[in-house]
């Protein structure tokens, strides 16, 4: 198989690329290398052992460049396009909504058009987000001693939850989400949308406003300050990156039934964690000492809880998470500690 991965030098992209190269597939990575430290991931990809049948190539390009993207994709002749390139931070989208729109909404449109107009259109997989569901103010949340929980959603949030794009980021990703879905209906393009929860794992260079799990792990390992916005009881379901890659692989293997579908993919009810009232203690165990943190006001639109209902992905794709939160965070901690030189100022 031939893959074309936009944002392939990013955190998810490099892990997915390495997995498919290991399967013997050929991968073209298309990335503008704008995010800090993605060059480290690109170097890592180039150094990875791979099957003799596999081929790896890199094109430095931007999804906002429709003509350049069209040429690169046509030359690569992929069977599958995995569209991961994105502006990923809510805070950044508020500061610069035009750039956020051009990368996330227009960039996704450019990917779809490049695929649609090829002689043999590839399948397109899109990394969406649970932020398309917005603040979910209609869902009742109960506060417990260390965490929040849904009162009436014991299995988490399903794909039937109404969409409610909140923030420029939610709007731009939501627009891409719906374009990808509709190109399957209108043009017959084989597309799959993954509405992803909190993804974490090795090769994630998290910062305060994006990739918070890795950001906390890096800060704790490097003795850097940690700020908690809100009371720290906010709950998220955490999905280890290799489990996410498994979901993409499962969708390709079941493309006949996955095509045109939208899937929530997250850690689910068995892999939840309160962002500091519970995670702080776990980090303290890994570090061997308590981890200090400073508290600040809640950030606008911050959900007190989000947990994904993975039932549809389990039923259609035969997929569910395999790595527990504790095991996954231990792996991330070990990687950060073994690669401290990557996290210098």
Read off the pLDDT of residues 149-162 as tens digits, 9 standing for 90 and up.
999 999 999 999 99
The whole-angstrom separation of Cα 54 and Cα 22 is 8
The whole-angstrom separation of Cα 39 and Cα 13 is 12
Q: How many residues does the chain have?
A: 345
Reported confidence tier of residue 66, pLDDT bands at 50, 70, 90: very high
DSSP state of 105: I
The whole-angstrom separation of Cα 309 and Cα 109 is 28
Mean pLDDT score, 304-321: 97
Upper half-sphere CA count for residue 104 (Cβ side, 13 Å): 29
8 Å CB contact between 197 and 238: yes
Mean pLDDT score, 248-269: 98
Q: Is residue 344's pLDDT more than 90?
A: no
Q: What percent of the chain has pLDDT over 70?
A: 99
Strands (E), 241-318: 261-265, 272-274, 294-296, 305-306
Q: Is residue 71's pLDDT more than 80?
A: yes
8 Å CB contact between 66 and 113: yes
pLDDT of residue 209: 83
Q: Which residues pair with 202 in a beta bridge?
A: none
Strands 294-296 and 227-229: parallel
* C-alpha torsion sign, points 170, 329, 331, 222: positive
DSSP code string of 173-201: HHHHHHHHHHHHHHH---EEEEEE-EEE-
pTM: 0.96
The whole-angstrom separation of Cα 216 and Cα 228 is 10
**Residue 322 neighbours by CB under 8 Å, 6+ apart:** 243, 246
Mean pLDDT score, 222-240: 96
95-138: per-residue pLDDT in tens? 999 999 999 999 999 999 999 999 999 999 999 999 999 989 99
State both tokens at 325. Answer: 């939160």
pLDDT of residue 65: 98
Residue in this structure with the two tokens 């893959």, named with its chain if needed: 3
* C-alpha torsion sign, points 104, 21, 244, 230: negative
Domains of the chain: 2-343 (3.40.50.720)
Residues annotated as catalytic are 169
Nearest to 313 by CA among 245, 264, 246, 257: 264
């Amino acid at each position: 198989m031939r893959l074309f991965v936009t944002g392939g030098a990013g955190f998810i992209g490099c892990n997915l690329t390495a997995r498919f190269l290991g399967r013997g597939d050929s991968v073209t990575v298309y990335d503008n290398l704008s995010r800090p430290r993605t060059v480290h991931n690109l170097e890592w990809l180039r150094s990875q052992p791979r099957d003799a049948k596999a081929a790896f190539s890199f094109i430095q390009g931007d999804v906002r460049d429709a003509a350049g993207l069209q040429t690169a994709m046509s030359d690569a002749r992929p069977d599958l396009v995995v569209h991961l390139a994105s502006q990923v931070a809510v805070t950044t989208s508020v500061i610069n909504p035009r750039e956020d729109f051009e990368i996330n909404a227009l960039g996704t449109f450019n990917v779809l058009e490049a695929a649609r107009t090829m002689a043999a259109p590839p399948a397109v997989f899109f990394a969406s987000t649970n932020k398309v569901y917005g603040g979910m103010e209609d869902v009742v949340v109960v506060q417990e001693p260390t965490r929040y929980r849904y009162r009436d959603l014991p299995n988490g949030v399903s794909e039937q939850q109404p969409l409610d794009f909140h923030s420029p980021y939610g709007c731009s990703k939501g627009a891409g989400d719906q374009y990808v879905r509709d190109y399957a209906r209108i043009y017959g393009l084989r597309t799959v949308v993954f509405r992803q929860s909190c993804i974490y794992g090795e090769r994630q260079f998290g910062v305060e406003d994006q990739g918070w799990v890795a950001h906390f792990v890096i800060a704790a390992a490097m003795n850097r300050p940690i700020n908690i916005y809100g009371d720290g009881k906010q709950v998220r379901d955490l999905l280890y990156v290799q489990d996410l890659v498994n979901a993409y692989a499962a969708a390709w293997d079941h493309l006949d039934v996955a095509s045109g579908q939208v899937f929530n993919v997250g850690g689910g009810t068995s892999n939840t964690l309160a962002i500091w009232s519970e995670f702080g203690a776990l980090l303290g165990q890994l570090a061997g000492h308590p981890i200090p943190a400073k508290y600040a006001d809640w950030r606008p639109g911050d959900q007190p809880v989000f947990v994904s209902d993975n039932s549809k992905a389990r039923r259609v794709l035969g997929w569910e998470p395999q790595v527990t939160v504790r095991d996954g965070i231990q792996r991330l901690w070990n990687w950060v500690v073994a690669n401290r030189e990557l996290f210098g100022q």
